[in-house]
Structure 1
């Protein structure tokens, strides 16, 4: 019986930029939907939506920085 050790898969990062761009787009769409909902919300609900969208903005900035890093790495 041939015992094979579990070998990690090669680190395939070739589509990371595409995945990150899709994540940014999805996050933007979620923000837009939340902003529409916030128009009809009040008090704590509205504050919660605004806080969540602020976290989304921070995530988008981080993802965009990662996209730049990935693109730079792929070009080297």
Structure 2
């Protein structure tokens, strides 16, 4: 059995992760039109988590940009 170790947080990937998360959220919103019952609830739950992730990534990107400006 292998143990999964998370990799280092590469801040260069944050903008790409943000774009991908937004794209996934938009695709899920379109799928909601055709979803029913448990599938619909699952999509809504995932999109709520995605929204939180988007906000976190935006804050992290902003903080990184401010750090670069200040020379940290």
TM-score by length of 2: 0.77
1:24 aligns with 2:22: no
Which runs of structure 1 show a deviation greater than 4 angstroms over 4 or more consecutive aligned residues? none
Structure number with the higher helix fraction is: 2
- The alignment's C-alpha RMSD in Å is 1.3
Q: State how many pairs are aligned.
A: 61
Q: Deviations over 1:6-53 (max 9, x none)?
A: xxxxxxx7xx3x521211111011011111111111011101001100
TM-score by length of 1: 0.73
Structure 1: 5+ residue stretches without partners: 1-12
Larger Rg: 1
